[in-house]
A and B are shown apart, each in its own frame.
Chain A
Amino acid sequence: MAKMQEPRHHRSFSITRLIRYGWVALSLLLVACHVDMYDQPRYEPYEYSAFFADGRSSRPPIPNTVAVGQFQDDPHFLTGMIDDQFATTLPFPLTADVMERGRQQYNAFCMSCHGLVGDGDGLIAQRGPLVVTSFHSERLRNVEVGYIFDVITNGLGRMYSHAARIPPEDRWAITAYVRALQLSQDATLDDLSPEERERLVGTESEEQ
């Protein structure tokens, strides 16, 4: 009898101990199961939402919505028009910074089709069956700057509107840069100052 009781006593002892200290091992297993700080109950931009029928958490704004503090009451600045006529001036002073900004934005948004200097021979235009307008025609050299701004804003022909991607001040900077490209491609030697001409001739002779 004693022999039979002994192992039973031993077993119950270890089970009690297991129950008593088991939670230590169990709590170790529960570590790192919580991700609620990693994934908090808020939406990230464009995150999928099961709440809205179309799955969009970023709700499309009602047409003509203006964000708080972003109302601009300047048709010249926003549309390139003054009294239904294309504006002939920029809505702000032209500086070297504006021109540099225009160059960067032109190279980001326009160069692919219109080419580095506006010949209409960008890499996309070279590949596809597209005919891209060159800026260096008599007609386009003489249009108002407001017209160029309007084309960027609303698109023209096969060119889509770029208003959603380029804010108005950058569209004006691009407009200024397009004008500069037109001047540069239509320039003659007489347009250069003596110093500039010397520099140009100098580099040419060095290259030769």
Chain B
Amino acid sequence: MKRTIKPSIPERSEDPLIEVSLTVNGEAVTRKVSMRMLLSDFLRHELGLTGTHVGCEHGVCGCCTVHIDGKAGRSCLTLAAQANGADIRTIESVATSETVLHPIQQAFKECHALQCGFCTPGMVMNILSRFEEPGPLDLSDEGIRDMLSGNLCRCTGYINIIAAVRRAGELTGRT
């Protein structure tokens, strides 16, 4: 292809910037970002934590679920600026080690609870938040279905995810 003069392309938009400082997976982070940047984009593209997925950008599908100050939240409905000072936890922090999965992840694998894997990080973060809540955990069939009722999956038909939550209960000694 014939070489042409490179177009002049600005580095970034002229959006007003805001400094945000927050903790992500236990690490302190400070960045200057556009005031309208979503937390999901911040995590994925500013920090490179692309395990958090974006499936609908209107808070319905649950793919983008992360923990915000210990509670499951939609990173696609949260601005990075709103997360200033927050403690954020993403899927990248969940596994027990480089070689050992978290019991919820392990249960997903054993039960074939994922196919394409796009919804999976959001599912895991949502289930994890429920497992980490103080108090009793309802692992009845209805309780598990209710637990999953904020996450869409288009591949599995959910039954294996329900089985995986039950299995995670066994693996973590919760009943």
Co-assembled chains A and B: no
Interface residues of B (CB under 8 A from A): none
Interface residues of A (CB under 8 A from B): none
